Amino acid sequence: MTGPYMTDRIRVALTGNPNSGKSTIFNHLAGARQHVANYPGVTVEVTQGTATYEGVRLDLVDLPGTYSLSAYSPEERVARDYLLKEKPDVVIAIVDASNLERNLYLVVQLIELGMPVLVALNMMDIAERRGLSIDHQRLSELTGVTFVPTVGHRGTGIDTLRKKILHEAGTGRRISAESIRYGRDVGTEITALESLLDEHAGLWEEYPTRWLALSLLEEDSEVIELIERKAPNADEILSQAAKGIERIHAVAGSSAETVIADRRYGFISGACQESIKSSVETRHIFSDKIDLIVTHRVLGLPILLALMYIVFYLTFNIAAYPSELIEDGLVELSDYARTAWQADPLQPLNIRSLLVDGILAGVGGVVVFLPPIMVLFMAIAALEDTGYMARAAFVTDHLMHKMGLHGKSFIPMLVGFGCSVPAIMATRIVENRRDRLTTMLIVPLMSCGGKYPAYALLVAAFFPLAWRGAMLWFIYIFGAVLAVLAAKLLKSTLLRGEAHPFVMELPPYRMPTFKGLLIHTWERSWLFLKKAGTVIFAVSIVLWFFTNWPSPPREELAQADPSEIRAAVLEHSVVGRVGKTLEPALEMAGFDWKLGTALIGASMAKEVFVAQMGIIYGFGEEGRSLAEQIGGDYSVLAGFALLLFTLIASPCIATVIIMRRESGSWRWAAFQWLALTAGGFVLAVVVFQGGGLLQALWTGG
């Protein structure tokens, strides 16, 4: 034989749901050379046959009809055992095209098994009579699996199927099971189990570790028995699986098996939504009826924007009171400490100043924003758990493809609303190097949780309460728009290349559980608090020291007015001197040396901006809140320019480090930091200078 597959024999297994036309397809392929026998050890019948095509012998096995590979019935067990142990060169999954979503569940499980799959899209005549138009090429692009339209009883498509068998066997291609995602909670448990299973991977070479991990979470009795029999660390593996099952149930309110099944159907639903059109009125399940509205080509985007506006409106209005309580408490504590704990005003480096002006002002200034952050995290968790976030990605998919961005880039970009570090790591699902680099470079434009305290402080400082939710909504949406435009620019210049198709999973809508929302909210809030208690705490001490050292001579401070001592110390310190050096350039954007030093600190972690402003102004100074003090020193235009600069510029040091690791080059990490920082500063200057000019023209000044 000529071609890529240099052999004269190919083993082919046929599988599919009952009544999918599997036996008819088998008869066409095998002809008269077939026989029926019981599979060893069971009474289930397996039909075997042979055929020759273009000089290659096809050894065919017609496995018993089955809806899944869960091994609950003898038929399922036979089909799964044969596939795992015999390792056929090609597996043909015969699916009923008129009932595609149900039939594709088995195909998804074959992908999870790491099988070389070829799908016969059978009964196409019935599908067409029901008004269904199936784009089989689009299905192939989205799933990575080859689909061949057939009409079994007529023999239509059989010759094409034979050619595809030779081609698939020749390439030896297997679809990556990682293309099917199970959500953050299930994915975390899969990863944990895989790491334990990989410690003794040689014991189960015939079983993919990812499939074993999934089966353990589904409480597959045969896989549990396999682990108990073979694994030296069986107790540890099974204990981890039990904990994972418990955690998934606690978060989702359903069994791990149900959640995994929902994710599989989500993958299927996303693929079918993009490749099947109906020309007649058909019945829709509950999720489909909702999707007709929320994923509508015209209504989908306004609904998404409206929901995001509601989230940010609630974030400010619900959390305003508890935030004020925390801030009032910190102000009273600061006032009490200053009154009860006397310190020499001519000696800035003292313990009271460290505790009050350093730690309390720095860490406390960040902790004030815990309530709105918790509300924001809970709202996002609710949108994720209901299944809407997948629809949000689906709604914007068409636009993003026009910008040249890979469909899979949606996942890390959504993760970027939590933190840029895991978002950049999540780009590993994007196979194409150029598309992955593009995604990594634009991820920091998605407003992470670390930026929220800075946003909240600046919005509170410069805008009335009624406008704060709208401004926060604007800055988040503006960042996403900038990310899209930056992707278009990169894909048109440095990283040219075509975007590849992608299945956007549409899981069934679910009512989120209160316990699940609390767990997700607490997990993210705890990370915020932990950063405040470690990174922000340490940086606050360093910044406090350099805002007070070196101190002016005592005699110089003694001659100053008491109200001017703090300002004199700041200006004489390292921080003050750095700020003064940068001030001529910063003034173009409406910033001064105080803001400059806070922005330098923010390059370590975005929350440090708030900490540094708290250290500079102090809690309770002049009897006003930190937001009130900042709002009194700068114009609204400067505040808006500062918001935009905070959104775009200087990704935190953790983002720079992970960018270097994931891109494999300091060059890309440096490019990202410099390009975003320069771009942010230029935009801030344009907004401040342009706004000032428009204001002058408007007032006739």
Average pLDDT of the chain, as a whole number: 86
d(CA 558, CA 317): 46
Q: What confidence tens digit (pLDDT) does each residue in 87-96 have?
A: 899 999 999 9
> What pLDDT does residue 285 have?
57
pLDDT for 456 equals: 92
Domain covering 9-176, topology: Rossmann fold (3.40.50)
Please tell me the distance from the alpha carbon of residue 147 to that of residue 178, in angstroms, as a whole number. 20
Domain boundaries, the chain: 9-176, 181-282, 305-486+531-699
Tell me yes or no: is domain 181-282 CATH 1.20.1560.10: no
Contact 319, 371 (CB under 8 A): yes
CA distances from 403 to 2, 413, 475, 495, 675 (A): 42, 15, 21, 12, 19
Q: Is the pTM of this model over 0.75?
A: no
Helix (H, G, I), strand (E, B) or coil at 701: coil
Element at 492 (helix H, strand E): helix 465-492
Q: What is the pLDDT of residue 145?
A: 92
| Tokens standing for residue 415 | 């993760």
- What is the model's pLDDT at position 96? 92
Instruction: Please name the residue that has the structure tokens 């305003």.
Output: 320
161's tokens = 């199927």
Using an 8 Å Cβ cutoff, are 39 and 30 in contact?
no
Consecutive sets of 10 residues in the chain, 701 residues long: mean pLDDT of each? 61 91 88 64 72 92 88 80 90 93 92 92 89 91 92 91 92 75 88 89 78 93 90 92 94 89 89 80 62 88 90 83 87 82 81 87 85 88 85 78 68 78 78 85 92 93 90 94 92 78 68 84 85 85 89 82 78 89 94 89 85 77 78 94 96 89 92 96 97 87 56
**What confidence score (pLDDT) does residue 527 get?**
82
Task: Look at the block and give the residue holding tokens 């004269």.
Answer: 8
